[in-house]
Chain A
C-alpha cells in the first residue's frame, strides 16, 4: 500500500513541463511527475499540463489509460493551457475528440489587425470569481492559438477580439488558459489558491 501523493503532474512524455514542476516547488509543494493511472487516481491534487497539439495529447492519454481516470476524479484537477482545452468536448485542432468534462468546443483564434496569432503575452483579466486567487485587472501570461468557447463555466476572461475564457471552473475542476507558472506574482497567487482548495 503506497501513500497517496499530494500533487501529481500528469506526464504524457516529452517532458516540457519543467516550469510547472518548478513553480509548484517554489510554493513548497512536492509535485510528482507521473503517468501511472493508480497514482493519479489516488493523488490529493492533479495537474494536467498541455503537451504538443490536442490530438497528440489525447493519444497519449489513451495510451496511458488515463481518460476514465481523469473523468472520474473527485479531488481537485487543474488543466493548464492545452490541458484546459482537452477538458472540453472537442477541439478544432486536428478535429480531436477531447475529455468532455466541460461543455463546448475549442476553436482556432482568427488573426486580425493588431491581433496576431498565437495570442502571446500578458493580457488583463476580468475576474468573475475572486475565490480563484486572481483579481480584476491582473495581468497573466498567455501563449495559445486555440481557445475554448466562452460560457457559464468562465470564472475569468481576457479579451482577444472575442471573450477568451482565461479560467473555467466546475465541480472539482479548474482550467487555466494562461500559464500560471509564468505569470509572476498573480500566477503564484492562483497556484497557491489551487493548493489550498
Chain B
C-alpha cells in the first residue's frame, strides 16, 4: 500500500466552493483556487472537486475552473459532476484534471465506465457511490446534488461496486450518506464490506469529525479518506492529522 491519502473534497457550485450538511443547505465557503492552494500547502495528498449541481441540472461540468486549478496545483485532483461521454471526460483531462469521477451518469448508462477506461486507462476512472443504509441493505442513490432530484437507483451498493470495477472503474469513492456532514465518523463496517468486495483502492467518505475516524478508516483498509467540513472549517489541520496518524503506525506522506 502506498502512503494513505488525506483527500479534501471541495463541492463546487458556479465556480465557488460550497458546503452542505447531509447534502443540503449549501453555503459559500470561498474561492476555488485559494482553497486548492491552501490544501496543497497543508499537505493534502489529492483533491476532489464535485460540481454538485451539474448532474441534477442535466448539464456537463464547467471546464474553466478546472484549468484555473490545474495551473496552480502540482498534486493529483479528480473532477466530478455530470460527465456523460468520453468527449466530456477528454475535455476535463485536457484542462489538466488527472481523474474523472462519475456517479449518476454511470448509473444511467454503465457502459460509460468502460468507454472512459478504454480511452484513458482505468486509473483515470473513479466511481463515486452515494450509499444509503435502508434498514440492513445499503442502496445506491442517484442525483444527490439536489434534495429534490435525489432518488434510489434500484441498485445494491455491493452489487454495483463489483459491476463497476468489472467494467473498468479504477477506484471507488464510497460516500455513506447517512453519515455525511455530521462528523460522527465513517461507516467503517460498510466501508470494510466494499473493500472486501473489490480489488481497486477504496476511499472512505462521509462523516469524518475527529482524527480517530481517519485512523479507523485506514485500519479497515481504506486507501484514502475524504472529508470536507473538518478541513474547510479548520477543525482538523492536515499536518496535525498526519502527525497523529503516523504516530498510530499509519504510513503518511509528510
Instruction: Decide if A32 is an interface residue (CB 8 Å cutoff).
Output: no
Interface string of B195-217 (1 = CB under 8 A from A): 00011111000000000000000
Instruction: Decide if B176 is an interface residue (CB 8 Å cutoff).
Output: no
Instruction: Decide if A26 is an interface residue (CB 8 Å cutoff).
Output: yes
Contacting pair B5 A18 (CB below 8 A): no
Find the residue from A23, A119, A160, A184 having the highest chain B CB count within 10 A: A184
> How long is the Cα–Cα vector from A26 to B201 in the complex, in angstroms?
30
Partner of A121, one of B5, B96, B98, B122: B5
- Shortest distance from the beta carbon of A6 to any chain B beta carbon, whole Å: 21
Q: Please, which residues of chain A bring their CB within 8 A of the CB of B120?
A: 14, 16, 51-52
- Shortest distance from the beta carbon of A111 to any chain B beta carbon, whole Å: 4
Give A117-134 interface residues, CB cut-off 8 Å to B: 117-124
Q: In terms of DSSP, what is the predominant structure of the interface of chain A?
A: mixed
Give A141-197 interface residues, CB cut-off 8 Å to B: 141-145, 158, 160, 179, 181-185, 187-188
> How long is the Cα–Cα vector from A73 to B160 in the complex, in angstroms?
47
> How long is the Cα–Cα vector from A15 to B63 in the complex, in angstroms?
14
Contacting pair B221 A118 (CB below 8 A): no
Interface string of A2-33 (1 = CB under 8 A from B): 00000000000011111100110010000000
Q: Please, which residues of chain B bring their CB within 8 A of the CB of A19?
A: 70, 96-98
Q: Please, which residues of chain B bring their CB within 8 A of the CB of A88?
A: none
Instruction: Decide if B27 is an interface residue (CB 8 Å cutoff).
Output: no
Of chain B, the residue at the smallest CB distance from A180 is: B74
Contacting pair B74 A14 (CB below 8 A): no
Using A116-B202, A123-B3 as known contacts, say yes or no to A26 and B74 having CB atoms under 8 A apart.
yes
Number of interface residues of A (CB under 8 A): 43
Instruction: Decide if B151 is an interface residue (CB 8 Å cutoff).
Output: no
Using A15-B90, A18-B95 as known contacts, say yes or no to A53 and B118 having CB atoms under 8 A apart.
yes
29 A-B interface contacts by CB (under 8 A): A14-B93, A14-B119, A15-B93, A16-B94, A16-B120, A16-B124, A18-B94, A22-B96, A26-B74, A53-B118, A56-B118, A116-B198, A118-B170, A120-B171, A121-B45, A121-B201, A122-B45, A122-B253, A123-B2, A139-B3, A141-B76, A142-B2, A143-B76, A143-B170, A144-B123, A145-B122, A185-B74, A187-B74, A188-B74
Interface residues of A (CB under 8 A from B): 14-19, 22-23, 26, 50-53, 56, 82, 111, 114-124, 139, 141-145, 158, 160, 179, 181-185, 187-188
Q: Which 6 pairs between the two chains have the least Cβ-Cβ distance?
A: A16-B93, A121-B2, A111-B199, A18-B96, A143-B123, A15-B94
Known: A22-B71, A139-B3. 4 other contacts (CB 8 A): A19-B70, A19-B97, A120-B2, A187-B74
